[in-house]
Amino acid sequence: MNDNAPSALLVDDVWVALPEELREELLTRRRSSTGWRGYRRQEWDGRHWEPLRPVIIRERAYRGLGWLTARLLHLAVEACRRRAATLGELHRALRFPHELQLMDPDRPLVAAELTRYARPDLLVEQGQPRLLEFNNSTRLGGDTVTPRLAEAYARLCPQSGLHPPPSSVTARSAALVRTLGSQVGNGRPRRMLVPACWGIDANGTRRRHERIKKPVLADAERVGLEVVQADLVELGINAAGRLLAAGLPIDLVMFQWGSDRIVDDGGGLAALRSADRARTVELFPRTESALISSKAVLAWLHEDCDAGLLDPADSALVRTHVPWTTCLGLDGDPAVHEKLLRMATDERDRLVSKPAVGKSGNGVLFGSQTSEKDWLAAAVHAARESPVVLQQRVESDRMTMPFLDRDSGQEIVAQVPYVLSPFMIDGEAASVGVRHMGPGVRAGDVVIGASRGGFQSTALIAPDPV
């Protein structure tokens, strides 16, 4: 087995294991430093709290986390390939609720294409990481904030041995270069397009997807890419089938939009599709990678374990690190549906109901917080509209987090739940996004998200003990 393989992977926040002198020095410098105002939130009591430290992870645990998530992503694609031969078939099998406007329905499922860019969410339960969803997408929150925060924290105590993971920004630039292979840096510019567009989100709101973020632009230029920023309406195709943006031929397209329905593209989407089908342009990441983000895929992993389709090591990996998950709304067999509903009623306190495809905790119901009548009705109604998963409830570990209210100077220490979200780029872990709740978090189950009052943070790596 690979040395990084998590045969007994534990991923703890090891802040309290650091020398007391180092902890006090980091907190003292953090209190006196500036530039953190965007890193605070208003709590229920009206205070504007700032967390004063990052999560601290051991080097070996970080490597194990990367190995684990990469392996689970690969197994997820294998589960999809058992049920679909093409992307179009997979879209239908998942009852995926969004149109993927650049998807080639006849394209085969290729793990290396569908897992290039992901940010899985993992809760930690008794030290064990438990994967809740894969979050494969063209647009992942925190891609620039996470490494910036990590670098800022590392600068507070540069001689401490604490250091950031590889940056998600530089890791993505390296992936862009790999996409073009030897074509980069051979004397003629290789152009990367970052298209801007208008989209309609799930709430029907029209919004603008703007252009490339400054850190991403600077790093793409550092690795030798000529970045072109143009609206979809400025795209076209030349006689050779090459994609043109404002008249310039494009070699690579990097997407910055998520699942919104793109509107008023002026034929730009058709131009992108034509160039992609003609294989005259590369896409990073491919928009259909979002299919793997459906939590129904986690249910398929458990189905395959039960059917004996995974080897013993992979089966143990899934059962240990993926909470038991089943799906309502995919299988039309009434007997299967009835059995799942009975189980959902009997095991309500141990389950969470979630949309198979969703974000920000919308539509999430904890059985422990819902009456039997409301629980069953909500799950059945939601499954008629779009697939719903029932997932084993994970009891998140809590970490000790100091908070500062700069307005009053008050400090408070709270035990808060947290989520780890390593950026996985071409199978390798980069920055670790962290979300945790504030000092006013209630006891019991809670959705840990920015829209629910969570803080966006980061992780530093500590050397393994000698």
Per-residue pLDDT tens digits for 229-250 = 999 999 999 999 999 998 999 9
Range from 261-270, 277-286, 291-300 carrying the lowest mean pLDDT: 261-270
DSSP secondary structure letters along 62-104: HHHHHHHHHHHHHHHHHHHHTT-SBHHHHHHHTT-SS--TT--
The tens digit of pLDDT for each residue in 47-84 reads: 789 999 999 999 999 999 999 999 999 999 999 999 99
C-beta neighbour count of 53 within 10 angstroms = 21
At 361 the pLDDT is 67
* pLDDT higher than threshold 90 for residue 322: yes
State what percent of residues in the chain have pLDDT above 90: 65
Comparison of pLDDT for 5 and 308, the residue scoring more: 308
What is the spatial distance between Cα 394 and Cα 158, in angstroms, rounded to a whole number? 36
pLDDT tens for residues 418-446?
999 999 999 999 999 999 998 888 777 78
Rounded mean pLDDT, 4-19:
82
User: What is the pLDDT at residue 2?
Assistant: 43
CB 123, CB 130: distance < 8 Å: yes
Q: Which two tokens stand for residue 85?
A: 């031969």
Cα–Cα distance for residue pair 30/312, rounded to 1 Å? 47
Residue 332: the pLDDT is: 60
Q: Is the dihedral of CA 239, 243, 248, 251 positive or negative?
A: negative
Domain ranges of the chain: 15-167+396-462, 184-284
Query: Is the model's pLDDT at 335 over the cut of 70?
Result: no
Reported as type and span, the H/E element at residue 432 is: strand 428-436
Q: Sorting pLDDT into bands at 50, 70 and 90, what band is 118?
A: very high
The whole-model pTM stands at 0.92
Q: Mean pLDDT in the chain?
A: 89
Torsion sign over Cα 218, 223, 224, 230: negative
- Alpha-carbon distance values, 179 to 175, 190, 224, 316, 428 (Å): 6, 11, 13, 34, 15
455, burial (CB in 10 Å: exposed 0-12, middle 13-18, buried 19+): buried
126: tokens are 């008794």
CA distance 25 to 199: 46
Q: How far apart are CA 225 and CA 174, in angstroms?
A: 11
Q: In what order do the strands lie in the sheet with 248-249?
A: 235-237, 243-245, 248-249
Regarding predicted confidence, which is higher, 185 or 395? 395
DSSP state for residue 6 in the 8-state scheme:
-
Higher pLDDT, 317 or 346: 317
Q: Look at domain 184-284 and name its CATH class.
A: alpha beta
| DSSP string across 198-257 | EEE-TTS-EEEE----HHHHHHHHHTTEEEEEEEGGGEEE-TTS-EEETTEE-SEEE---
